[in-house]
Each structure stands twice: as C-alpha cells, then as structure tokens.
A and B are shown apart, each in its own frame.
Chain A
C-alpha cells in the first residue's frame, strides 16, 4: 500500500504548477474581474497537454492517467478556479468521446481538443428544469431521414459560448432515463444559439450560458454511443467529472489555506502574530487535516478509475467531502484575514466565492449523498 504519487504524476503536477505560477496566478484577479479567460491561457494549457491528460497519445493526449490529471487540475485551481473548471470540462469531453466515440468521431474531435484548435469542450446536460434529475429533460432529437433534429434548451453550460464542440443530451425515446441519447454538436451549427450569460457569484472568468436548439440538424454520425444509451454516458462522465471537481475544490482550498498561513504569520494582535494564538492554530490544523482527507479520498477515486475498477461511490465521496471541506476551509481562511478577507484586494475573497459552486455542479452534495447512501445500503 502506497499513497505517494509516482514519478510521472509528480512530473505532470510540477509542470502544471509551473504554468499556474508563471502564467495564471498573475492574471487570476483580472480573469475574475473581467469575466473572461484570455484565449492564450487555454491554448497554453492545450499545448502542454493539460486539456487531454488521460487521453491516449495516438489521439494527441498525454495518457498520464487520472491520478496525474487530478494532481494537475488542483495546481491550476490553486491559481484560478475558472481556468480549472474549463480544463476539467474539456478533459471530460475529450474522455467521453474517446470512450464512447466511433473511430471517425475520435479522429474528428479529440486531436483538435488536444492541440487547442477547438478551444474547449462543452457538456450540455442540464436544463432549466432538469438538473439533479436528468431523466426529466425535455430537449428532443427527432429522426428526419439520415439526420437528427434537435430542439430544446440547455442551462448552466460551461464554456458554451466559445467551445468548439458540445456533447448534447436529448430525448430520443420514451420518458425517463432510458429514452435519452447523446450527440456531438459543433459550435456554429444552424439553429444553435447562445442565450443568457449567467452573472455568477464566483467562477466569473468561466463563461456559463444558456443554449437554444431550434431545429438543429446533425447527421446520423453525430450520435455518440448507442441510441437511447445516453444516460449511461452521462453518469459515467459525471463519475469522472466528480474527480475533477473534487480536485478543483482541493486546489482552491489549498490556495486559501496557504494565504491564511502566510497572513497569520505576519498579522499581529495583542503583541504577537495571530499564528501564535490557539484560536488561529486550531483553524489551520483543522483545515490541513480536512484537506489531506479530501486529497486522499480524491486520489483513491482517481486511482480506482485509472486501474479500471469500480469508482462511482468513491468519486461521490471524494466530491462530497472535498467540496464541503473546501467550503469550510475558505470560510476559515476569510475569517483569519478579518476585514481584509472581505475585500477584493485579497485573494481569499475570490476563493470564497469560487469554492461555493463546487457543492452544486456536477451533482450537488445532496445527489452525492444519494449515490453514497445507496451504495451503503447495498
């Protein structure tokens, strides 16, 4: 039994750390303020294989495994959570196409995600009235000759306004989860329009939009996986995606804790650094412990996925625990900063806002508990 990262994972993590420190940290505040990730940042990630870390080399990926991916994603999230979620979703899209796509689909999209041509991948599952319960989705795809015609609306779509390719779920059969299929749709298709840009509390650099499908015609070859087999793809993608979001939450919390530790050593009250007060030490000790627990749960899920073992409930545990712990840690980090933590001059204000969504997207904490509860009860 060994929990340490192997050499490849350390290399990938260090490379992500270098990009994050040099290229992303200096831009993070402005990415948040301006609500936009500069395209060159995403291109830089792609050029360094960060968009396709767990994808085979023949498709342009780095093929370094899920553990290394998790470690790298946390490094990017330490610098900028908006950039990290874009990276996470893009990796997920590349992986879904790699796992379920035909050879033609793989060759058409994956290398272009890998080299940055498609900028980002986007995952269009949620709808205005179907989030935790995707079986309630209303978007439809109807067969018309050798084409599918997609109609409906999608909500909360990360990178939806600039992603080159979408994985879109739509109803092709009866009600519930067994009548859903999955399609690959390209940006700019006729009938596909970008709706409302969400004005969010955090992750302001990451764009989140509504999508409208009005008679969008895609060829038969756009069907990903089996007809009416879309729900399975969504669940498998989300199982993996949860490792990504857990890793993102860990990165944000690591940054918050590091900022809090640094501040606690400098800031003085009652004649000594606040780090000398047990009240502050306790917060730091709890933060460090919870963060390590989150890291271990997340690496475990990543390791199980990487070694092709069952990992669904372990990914749910990782996501649930990491995101809730990260929420507590960012809250404590803000508290340690006092008033300074509440102003935008200090990064913890951003961490606090950014971390909140990790308990919501890619399966709320409540959905994770449903998944885990089911597995406990057998």
Chain B
C-alpha cells in the first residue's frame, strides 16, 4: 500500500489543473449557455497530450498511466464537464480499444492521429432501441468477403458531429447475439455514413452528440477491429475503462460544486452570522466531502487496477470500475443537489455555476452504463464469489 501519487502522476495532475484553470474554467459558463463546441480547447488538449494520455508515446500518446488519466479527467471536468467528456470519449472509448485490439496497421493509421489529437474519435454502440441491452442491436454488417456492408443507426454519439473516426459495433449475425457482434473503425466521409443535427440535452451542452446513420456503407475488412465476432468483448472491456473516465468526470463536477458551496457558505449571512456557522450547513458539507473522498478512492483504486491489468491481462477490474462509476456518479448528484440547496435561490439561477454542475452531473448516472447496469455487474460478481 502506498497511497501517495508518484512524481509523474502529480506532474500530470498539475499540468491538467493549470490548463483547466487558465484555459477552460473562464469559458465554461459561455460554452454551456451557447452550447458551443470548444474546438480551441480540444485542439489544446491534443497539444498537451490529454487526448491520448494513457497511450504509449510510439503510438502518439503521452505514455502516462491510468491513475494519471483519472486525475487529469477530474481536473478538466472540474472546470467544464463538457470538455471532460470530450476528452474521456477520445481517450477511453476510442484510443484504448484501438491500442488494445488494433493491429499494427490500424494503430498507425488510426491510433497515431487520434492519440496525438490531430483527429477526434467517437464510439458507436448505443442504438435508438438498445442501450443497456447492448448485444440486442439492430445495426447489421453483412460479410461480403473482402468487405462488409453496414446498415443501421446509432444514437447519443458524443463527439459525433465533430469526429473524424467512429468505432462502430454492428451485428454480422443477429441470431448469435453478443457473439455475432463485430467492431469496425470507420472514417468520416465514407459514402453512406451520415449524421443528423445535434441532440439538445439537460446538461453537458458543449459536448455535442448526435445520431449517426449507416446506409449501405462499404467497410473494408482491414477496418475490422480485433477480429470478426469480437465486438461485444471489445465493447465491454472498453467500457470497463470508460467507467473510470466517467467516474472521474463525476468527481470533477462534484468537487467544483463542493468548493463553490464552501465559499458561498462562508460569505452568505443568515440570522446574523455566516451560514457556515450553522450545523445544518456544516453537516451537508461534511457529508459532501466524505462522499467525494470515498468516490475518489474507489475511482483511483479502479484506475490503479487497470494499470496493473495493462501488465497482467489476467487482472480484471470490471467490478471495481462499476463500483467507482456507480458511487461517483450518484454521489455527484447528491453533492451538486446539496450545493444548490446551500446556495438557496441563487443556486437555481444560471448566474451561479452550481446550476450547471447539477445539470451536468445528472448524465453521469446514465451514460457508459446506467447505475442499474453497474449494479448488475457488481451483484453478479459478488454473488459469483
């Protein structure tokens, strides 16, 4: 046991914090209000190595570990949850599976530009009629020998409107369920690959998402990721990592809310004294801080396990990632809720950031596996033991 960060981890945390405070935070309110895609921040994150943080240098990444990735995600999300999830999708859902399952050619063609931030990726698993029940998908990929013909639609695709590359999951054999699923890497501009207008959401306004469509899209077999029939396995393994990213995003949002509630409680007066002097407020802050620390420990534990799994693939961290994601996302909702309560009416106004944090936190309980799916994973692992 050694719970201190390594020098490198602290350095990356500090780098991400500097970037977040200097470049992201001042824009966060405007990005949310306008629903503006932060193209300049995405580009800057690429330059800083934040778009492929845990990918080795030789593939265009920053060569850091997953603990560093979690720490950096928290810092960026603390400033702006939209910018955080753009980063998370590219790192966890696109670069990570390409690194783990891609062949040399795919790593060169796709991973290199994605990890270095020259290109942006997105992840196409969810469909209009299948979210949690991912293996029950309707998008099909017909095997034509040297290529596949893909038809179908994927929705809630974060980064979709701006991405250059999608990791797409499609069924080559619907009767085979999960085992009949294959993953593909498809580039924007491929004929038949289109998208509709972006979604309008409760929160994370600056992280654009949309539905993407595939109409007789011809995908060469060189673009199959990890082999035919490996799709579901790739999706699940990818989400085990993605959940660490979303847990970290939730941590960042919750920390921002706690910090702002603490500051507000010190200056706002009621009954002749700062509300921070009231036990009702102190106890809310104490519970928020305790849950935040618990969430961070669960998240960093999962990240540390993923780092061990990189060296020893027999190590599984599905349960630990699920716990981190479940706990951090639900804690973030409770913490941002209390932060609004401490702010009173001001918390309900868009002039104060906690209103945004509250809306942004809510999605973390839904995407990359709802809280309910996390509980399925955790219960199955616990009952098995």
Interface residues of A (CB under 8 A from B): 1-6, 9, 67, 257, 261, 264-265, 275, 278, 281-282, 284-286, 288-290, 292-294, 296-297, 299-300, 303-304, 314, 317, 320-321, 366, 368-377
Q: Tell me the chain B residues, 246-275 only, with Cβ under 8 Å from chain A.
A: 258, 262, 265-266
Partner among A67, A288, A293, A376 whose Cβ is within 8 Å of the Cβ of B286? A376
Q: Can you name the residue of chain A whose Cβ is closest to the Cβ of B281?
A: A373
* Binding stretch for chain A, among B76-84, B152-160, B292-300: B292-300
Q: Chain B: interface secondary structure?
A: helix
Given A296-B294, A321-B290, A369-B286: 8 more A-B contacts, CB < 8 Å:
A3-B300, A281-B383, A282-B375, A285-B378, A285-B379, A285-B382, A290-B327, A317-B293
The answer to whether B94 has its CB under 8 Å from any CB of chain A is no
Shortest CB-to-CB span from A258 to chain B, Å, is 9
- Give Cα A67–Cα B3 distance, bound, in whole angstroms: 12
The number of residues on chain B lying at the interface, defined by a beta carbon within 8 Å of a beta carbon of chain A, is 47
Q: Is B311 an interface residue (CB 8 A)?
A: no
**Contact: B298 with A296, CB < 8 Å?**
yes
CB distance from A232 to the nearest CB of B (A): 23
Q: Does A1 contact B282, Cβ atoms closer than 8 Å?
A: no
Cα-based distance from A187 to B301 in the complex (angstroms) = 46
Give the residue of B1, B9, B374 whose beta carbon is less than 8 angstroms from that of A3: B1
Contacts A286-B375, A369-B283, A377-B266 given: A4-B1 contact, CB under 8 Å? Answer: yes
Partner of A299, one of B1, B265, B323: B1
CB pair A373–B379 under 8 Å, yes or no, is no
Closest to A299 in B: B1
CB within 8 Å of A: which of B46-93? 67
Partner of B67, one of A1, A317, A321: A1
Whether the pair B304, A317 counts as a contact (CB closer than 8 A) is: no
B3 touches A284 (CB 8 A): no
Give the interface centre of A3, A314, A368 by most chain B CB atoms within 10 Å. A3
Q: Is A376 touching B289 in the complex (CB atoms < 8 A)?
A: yes
Asked if B2 and A1 make an inter-chain contact with CB atoms under 8 angstroms apart, the answer reads: yes
Name the residue among B291, B319, B378 with the largest chain A CB count within 10 angstroms: B378
Closest residue on chain B to residue A286 by CB atoms? B375
Residues A2 and B304 in contact in the complex (CB < 8 Å), given A292-B323, A300-B297, A373-B282: yes
- Chain A residues with CB under 8 A of B295: 293
| A265 and B3 alpha carbons, distance in the complex (Å) | 36
* Given A281-B383, A320-B286, A377-B282: A1 in contact with B293 (beta carbons within 8 A): no
**What chain B residues lie within 8 Å of A314 (beta carbons)?**
293
Which of A261, A281, A284, A292 has the most chain B CB within a 10 Å cutoff?
A292
B285 with A377: CB separation less than 8 A: yes
Shortest C-beta distance, B307 to chain A (Å), equals: 9
Q: Are A300 and B282 in touch, CB under 8 angstroms? A: no
Task: Tell me how many residue pairs across A and B have CB atoms closer than 8 Å.
Answer: 135
Give the complex CA separation of A374 and B289 in angstroms: 11
> Is residue B287 within 8 Å, beta carbon to beta carbon, of the partner chain?
yes
Residues of B within 8 A of A297 (CB): 290, 293-294, 297
Contacts of B298 in A (CB 8 A): 289, 292-293, 296
The residues of B that contact A300 with a CB separation of less than 8 Å are 3, 293, 297
* A326 and B379 alpha carbons, distance in the complex (Å): 18
Closest CB of chain B to A364's CB: distance in Å? 12
Set A275, A296, A373: member contacting B301, Cβ < 8 A: A296
Q: Which residues of B contact A6 (CB under 8 A)?
A: 1
> A373 and B1 in contact (CB under 8 A), knowing A2-B304, A300-B297?
no
B382 and A261: CB pair below 8 A?
yes
Least distance between B17 CB and chain A CB atoms (Å)? 17
> Does B314 make an interface contact (CB < 8 A)?
no
Is B4 in the interface zone, CB < 8 Å from A?
yes
Q: Which 3 A-B pairs have the closest CB atoms?
A: A373-B282, A281-B379, A296-B297
Give the distance in Å from the alpha carbon of A160 to the alpha carbon of B258 in the complex. 43
Residues from chain A with a CB closer than 8 A to the CB of B1 are 2-6, 9, 67, 299, 303
**Bound form: Cα–Cα A265–B385 in Å:** 11
- Give every chain B residue within 8 A of A377 (Cβ-Cβ): 262, 265-266, 276, 282, 285
B259 to chain A: closest residue by CB: A376
In the bound complex, how far is the Cα of B293 from the Cα of A320, in angstroms?
A: 12
Say yes or no for B111: interface residue by CB 8 A criterion. no
Q: Which of B113-143 contact A (CB under 8 A)?
A: none
